[in-house]
Chain A
């Protein structure tokens, strides 16, 4: 089986994980910019992080035959400091032309605050002005429902945004329908305790079909599994799904969305 890992925070993972991904059939890994687990103290910290994502990490991946792509932004957990966030947003255009950059992400909301929403709208504007794809993080747990509604409303308000160029990530049973109904793509994240399990993600696929849906591990510095996507593919096979259906969800769908960026190849592998 060949697949794309559309959301993984590889700066937090060991080199062993790159090897495991390659052995499992991963062709490409896509890394959204995110929170490091602590707040950075300056825009320079983000500059170095963006350099890591666009220069260093692709070299680590290439040692195992993996292509590495990334998304750039300031994440919602560091958006409460509006001055810092605005300075970081101003840095992003310097990196957008780098060959592994797919777009602006993972932008979104965390606690659904006014400042988070303001910074989200500024980054939607950034993406629109630079004709970039958008990857959106939706909040965790009790905040997800409200946050997803606020995010969809904000995206609909900006008439420049084409829904087919937006992926709303971390959907669950109570948010997937509103995302698909808005014409956007939906990502199901296979993450212990706080997001989807393989069984629940497959339930969603069986209820809503495979159109504009993908799977990702979002593996990071927390307890998470870089092999969650191939494990879910195995679970799909156990549940009687055809190889063609599995390929569509784990390879063709991410390929179709991501290749809207000129930096992502039309064909992988």
Chain B
């Protein structure tokens, strides 16, 4: 597809998602109390969107990922929260 065709197909959807992301950050900023590691990861991930980089989706996924290599001693939960907590290691 041409760049124009991609824009025709996905621009409005991407615009909508970008505004949702901005509104989420505004909502977090307006709220009281401390944030946690998830917001730090989120800011690292959003930094991957700027400039003329390639493979932004991969970079965003890596920004949220556990970079360590060894298995953990034991699973204390079944769920994942979406961002790696370096402080918990």
Contact = CB atoms under 8 A, between A and B. Distances in A.
Interface of A: 35, 77, 80, 110-117, 139-146, 149-150, 172-174, 194, 199-200, 203, 238-240
Contacts, number: 80
Q: Is the interface of B mostly helix, strand, loop or mixed?
A: loop
5 contacts: A113-B72, A141-B82, A142-B83, A146-B66, A172-B61
Contacts of B77: 111
Q: How would you classify the secondary structure of chain A's contact residues: helix, strand, loop or mixed?
A: helix
A142 B66 contact: yes
Contact of A112 (B58, B71, B76): B71
A174 B71 contact: no
Contacts of B80: 111, 139-143, 194
B68 interface: yes
Nearest to A113: B75
Nearest to A239: B1
Nearest to A177: B58
Given A114-B71, A146-B66, A150-B71, 18 more contacts: A77-B78, A112-B71, A113-B72, A116-B75, A140-B79, A141-B81, A142-B65, A142-B84, A146-B65, A146-B68, A146-B69, A173-B55, A174-B58, A174-B61, A174-B62, A203-B57, A238-B9, A239-B9
Contacts of B66: 112, 142-143, 145-146
A113 B10 CA distance: 39
B42 interface: no
Interface in B42-71: 55, 57-58, 61-62, 64-69, 71
Interface residues of B, number: 29
A222 to B, nearest CB: 12
B15 interface: no
A80 B75 contact: yes
Given A141-B64, A174-B58, A239-B9, A111 B81 contact: no
B12 interface: no
In the A-B complex, the 5 residue pairs with the closest CB atoms: A111-B75, A141-B80, A145-B65, A113-B75, A174-B61
A112, A140, A141, A149: residue with the most chain B Cβ atoms closer than 10 Å: A141
A240 B71 CA distance: 43
B16 interface: no
A29 to B, nearest CB: 26
Nearest to B56: A173
B73 interface: yes
Nearest to B77: A111
A225 to B, nearest CB: 17
B3 interface: no
A141 B81 CA distance: 7
B57 A113 contact: no
A144 B81 CA distance: 12
B65 A174 contact: yes
Contacts of B78: 35, 77, 110-111
B27 interface: no
Given A174-B62, A199-B10, A238-B9, A142 B71 contact: no
B54 to A, nearest CB: 10
A142 B82 contact: yes
A240 B1 contact: yes
Interface centre among B55, B71, B83 (most CB of A within 10 A): B71
B56 to A, nearest CB: 9
